[in-house]
């Protein structure tokens, strides 16, 4: 059941006013155009982006690299001064591997056998050069960027699913995987760096994709990974506490997110728009800075894309929505209030892209879900078990609220916090877990090089004396999951949070194979839970 979006059922004729369809026809690529970037380019073509000395303009480059370890003969190497190290330290290695020229941040006085090209802002130059090198692929695609603290993956997958069901060839870029129109690729990051991103987009163009739903992380925006990408639509899910190790505070986090909306210029590609969450505190600020039409969603009467009613049925909910005055009903098995907002955002995009409402309503119930997000594990146990990716305060709160909505039994949560990441969110997560779960179990997540004792101390700093006593602390994640299953009784809801789809636990620099889903299946098969009373329905 979990996997890439299902192939569309039946062919839909896009409406005459379907923007995507028009673009599709306009942008049909000839074979000659496909893969034009494979041939390389002359350095002179980058003269507006970096300072190319007169004598080097005819020099051919056949690739781009920002990592010396990945350099291939003929590449232009970007020596980025980073947070951890300086790319200049690897210049010699890049030259040894065949780099024919290198871009540096500002002029560098150094004797080298290859030309050094100075850029004022190297990350910006890398983005623009990558877009140029790969033939400006984002201009040939409907680019839908989704940003926000939580829900990016779900919304991007939903958009991709609905557009694909409407026969719009759509690529996907995000945390879980990349779908480039020919194959699924694993993702290293939520948003690839500029060179990988532009190469991926060019591949999508070559594979006949007409639209792309992509997650745009705040890191990517701050580090200019998407510079050179022209978006048609920018979507915000929400902005809550996370990544304050990198962004320092809410304001600078908001500033980074706002880049996606600020850069949605009302010229260039036609029909640009933004989709905003009207209930998020960022709404007034983002709406103000948007220079393109804004479609906002929410449950209040002012929202343009509005959730009017939710009728909960046994295995699904029936949502009544209103889109700019038109009502429609959509069934979904995605659980929780937060997913209703994710659906609103995705529906707003699909509808704005020209997919008819009946087609949207037909597609959403067939959404296969996203691995590791609110993913149920069913092995015949008499209680519900879910693996979820919640790893920040708002997500933890949302998933526990979802469990309250869905079950009348106890909520048992296994959770942890990553090492070497935002320490400020740890006490918030601890407090949410003890205040919203009946049985909170604190365990380890990826530690990297941080001491688990420090992490546990930070998490418990958010708790009162009594709450601390109610907390079960089990550093071994497998044992913590076992404990949760042993304590669960019929009708309870067990949530294993934080790792989602990930297949490893990081200890130091070592990635140890570990899958919450697999461990739950093993433990449930071993009978780590009490036997199922025959009178109870099996899930
Ligand atoms: C904060 C951040 O995002 N940093 C990324 C950034 O690092 P950086 O530019 O500071 O680079 P650096 O590591 O100091 O190295 C400097 C330069 O030397 C180069 N180098 C380095 C070593 C070498 O042997 N040769 C060499 O050429 C590097 O490639 C780099 O160009 O560029 C590096 C190369 O592309 C990335 O590996 C690195 O991602 C780090 C590992 C990372 O973990 N990023 C996470 C936080 C991230 O981006 N997460 C978001 C999602 C967040 C979320 O929503 O959950 C994402 O989009 O995935
Ligand atoms: N709209 C939402 N509001 C609050 N929490 C949400 C929302 N959507 C999803 N979540 C929670 O956040 C978790 C991650 O969801 P998802 O992967 O869709 O978001 P994301 O923004 O891509 O996260 P990340 O950037 O960490 O990959 C889910 O498992 C769920 O617990």
Task: Read off the CATH number of the domain in which 184 is found.
Answer: 3.40.1190.10
Q: Are residues 141 and 110 in the same domain?
A: no
Query: What is the predicted pLDDT for the residue at 116?
Result: 96
Query: What is the predicted pLDDT for the residue at 250?
Result: 85
* pLDDT, average across residues 375-387: 96
Tokens of 91: 């210049």
Q: Are residues 306 and 389 in the same domain?
A: no
Q: Are residues 59 and 201 in the same domain?
A: no
Residue 530 lies in a domain: no
Q: Are residues 224 and 322 in the same domain?
A: yes
Most informative mutation of 276, 389, 394, 446 for ligand 2 (most atoms within 8 A of CB): 389
Most informative mutation of 75, 87, 95 for ligand 1 (most atoms within 8 A of CB): 87
Q: Are residues 105 and 244 in the same domain?
A: no
Q: Are residues 310 and 172 in the same domain?
A: yes
Cα–Cα nearest to 233, from 290, 149, 298: 290
Q: Are residues 395 and 501 in the same domain?
A: yes
Tokens 């299946």 locate to 521
Index of the ligand 1 atom closest to the CA of residue 215:
57
Q: Given a cut of 70, is residue 36 above it in pLDDT?
A: no
Residue 260 lies in a domain: yes
Cα–Cα nearest to 434, from 490, 393, 406, 402: 393
Please tell me whether 151 is known to bind a ligand.
yes
Strands 142-147 and 170-173: unpaired
For 332, the domain range is 134-366
Residue 21 lies in a domain: no
Index of the ligand 2 atom closest to the CA of residue 388:
29
Query: Which of 133, 157, 183 is where one domain is finished?
Result: 133
240/317: higher pLDDT: 317
Query: Which of 99, 116, 133 is where one domain is finished?
Result: 133
Index of the ligand 2 atom closest to the CA of residue 345:
1
State the ipTM, two decimals. Answer: 0.96
In tens, the pLDDT along 408-417 reads: 899 999 999 9
CA distance 521 to 527: 10
CA distance 364 to 343: 8
Q: Are residues 257 and 163 in the same domain?
A: yes
| Helices within 180-249 (DSSP H only) | 194-206, 218-222, 244-247
Q: Are residues 221 and 274 in the same domain?
A: yes
* Under 8 Å between Cβ of 254 and 282: yes
Cα–Cα nearest to 66, from 12, 120, 126: 126
Question: Starting from the edge strand earliest in sequence, which strands make up the sheet with 63-65, in order?
Answer: 63-65, 75-79, 101-105, 116-119
Q: Given a cut of 90, is residue 17 above it in pLDDT?
A: no
* Under 8 Å between Cβ of 53 and 39: no
In tens, the pLDDT along 496-507 reads: 999 999 999 999
How many residues are present in the chain?
A: 539
Q: Given a cut of 70, is residue 536 above it in pLDDT?
A: no
Q: Percent of the chain beyond pLDDT 90?
A: 84
- How many Cβ atoms from other residues are within 10 Å of residue 358's Cβ? 10
> How far does residue 149's CA lie from ligand 2's centre (Å)?
7
CA distance 458 to 146: 31
Most informative mutation of 64, 67, 68, 82 for ligand 1 (most atoms within 8 A of CB): 82
DSSP E strand boundaries for 62-188: 63-65, 75-79, 101-105, 116-119, 142-147, 170-173, 177-179, 184-186
Q: Given a cut of 70, is residue 343 above it in pLDDT?
A: yes
CATH code of the domain containing 124? 3.40.1390.10
> How far does residue 18's CA lie from ligand 2's centre (Å)?
30
Beta-bridged to residue 78, according to DSSP, are: 103
Rg of the chain over all Cα atoms, to the nearest angstrom: 25
Q: Are residues 128 and 146 in the same domain?
A: no
């Amino acid at each position: 059941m979990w996997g890439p979006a299902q192939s569309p059922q039946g062919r839909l004729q896009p409406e005459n006013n379907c923007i995507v369809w028009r673009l599709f026809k306009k942008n049909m690529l000839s074979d000659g155009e496909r893969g034009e970037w494979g041939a390389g380019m002359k350095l002179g073509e980058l003269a507006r982006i970096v300072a190319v000395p007169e004598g080097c303009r005819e020099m051919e480059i056949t690739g781009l690299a920002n990592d010396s370890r990945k350099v291939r003969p003929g590449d232009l190497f970007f020596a980025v001064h980073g947070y951890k190290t300086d790319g200049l330290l690897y210049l010699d290695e890049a030259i040894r591997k065949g780099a024919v020229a290198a871009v540096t941040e500002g002029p560098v006085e150094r004797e080298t056998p290859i030309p050094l090209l100075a850029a004022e802002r190297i990350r910006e130059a890398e983005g623009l050069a990558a877009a140029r090198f790969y033939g400006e692929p984002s201009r040939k695609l409907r680019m839908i960027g989704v940003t926000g603290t939580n829900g990016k993956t779900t919304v991007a997958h939903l958009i991709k699913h609905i557009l694909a069901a409407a026969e719009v060839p759509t690529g996907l870029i995000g945390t879980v995987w990349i779908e480039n129109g020919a194959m699924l690729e694993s993702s290293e990051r939520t948003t690839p760096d500029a060179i990988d991103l532009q190469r991926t987009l060019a591949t999508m163009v070559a594979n006949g994709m007409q639209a792309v739903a992509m997650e745009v992380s705040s890191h990517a925006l701050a580090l200019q990974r998407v510079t050179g990408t022209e978006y048609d639509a920018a979507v915000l899910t929400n902005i809550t506490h996370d990544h304050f190790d990198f962004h320092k505070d809410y304001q600078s986090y908001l500033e980074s997110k706002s880049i996606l909306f600020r850069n949605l210029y009302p010229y260039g590609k036609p029909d640009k728009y933004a989709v905003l969450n009207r209930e998020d505190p960022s709404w007034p600020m983002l709406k103000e800075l948007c220079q393109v039409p804004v479609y906002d969603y929410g449950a209040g009467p002012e929202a343009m894309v509005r959730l009017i009613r939710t009728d909960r049925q046994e295995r699904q909910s029936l949502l009544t929505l209103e889109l700019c005055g038109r009502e429609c009903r959509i069934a979904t098995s995605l659980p929780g209030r937060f997913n209703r907002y994710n659906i609103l955002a995705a529906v707003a995009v699909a509808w704005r892209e020209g997919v008819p409402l009946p087609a949207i309503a037909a597609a959403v119930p067939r959404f296969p879900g996203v691995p590791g997000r609110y993913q149920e594990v069913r092995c015949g146990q008499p209680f519900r078990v879910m693996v979820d990716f919640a790893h920040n305060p708002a997500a933890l709160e949302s998933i526990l609220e979802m469990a309250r909505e869905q079950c009348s039994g106890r909520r048992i949560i296994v959770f942890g916090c990553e090492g070497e990441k935002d320490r400020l969110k740890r006490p918030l997560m601890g407090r949410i877990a003890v205040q919203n779960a009946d049985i909170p179990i604190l365990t380890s997540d990826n530690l990297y090089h941080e001491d688990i004792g420090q992490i546990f101390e930070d998490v418990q700093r958010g708790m009162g004396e009594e709450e601390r006593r109610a907390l079960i602390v089990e550093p071994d994640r497998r044992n913590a999951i076992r404990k949760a299953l042993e304590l669960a009784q019929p009708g309870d809801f067990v949530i294993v949070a934080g790792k989602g789809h990930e297949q490893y636990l990081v200890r130091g620099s070592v990635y140890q194979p570990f899958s919450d889903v697999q461990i739950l299946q093993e433990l449930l098969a071993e009978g780590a839970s009490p036997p199922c009373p025959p009178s109870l329905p099996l899930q």
